[in-house]
Structure 1
Amino acid sequence: MISLPTPQQLRYLLALADHGHFGRAAAACAVTQSTLSAGIIALERQLDATLLERGATKRPIFTPLGLEVVERARQAMAALEAVAETATAARDPLSGSLRLGVIPTIGPFLLPRLMPTLRQAFPRLRLWLREDQTERLLAQLAVGRLDLLLLALPCTCGEAETLAFAPDPFLAALPAGHRLAALDAVPIAALAAERLLLLEDGHCLREHALDACGLPRAAIPAEEGFAATSLHTLVQMVASGLGVTLVPRLAVAGGVLAGAAVEVRPVLGQDPASPAPGRSLALAWRPRSPRAGEFRDLAQAIAAAVHGG
Structure 2
Amino acid sequence: MKILNIGSLNYDYVYSVKHIVKPGETASSLKMETFCGGKGLNQSVALARAGASVYHAGFIGEDGELLLDTCKKNQIEVSHIKKIQGRSGHTIIQVDNEGQNCILLYGGSNRFLTSQYVDEVLDSFDPGDWILLQNEVNLLSYIIDRAYEKGMNIALNPSPFDEAVRECDLSKITLFLLNEIEGEQITGLSNEQEILDAMIEQYPKARIVLTLGSKGVVYRDKEKECSHGIYRVRAVDTTAAGDTFTGYFLNSLLNDLPVEEALKLSSKASAIAVSRPGATVSIPYRKEVEEYQFDY
TM range (shorter): under 0.3
- Structure 1 or 2: larger helix share? 1
TM-score (norm 2): 0.24
Greater RCO, CA 8 A, separation 6+:
1
TM-score (norm 1): 0.24
- Structure 1 or 2: larger strand share? 2
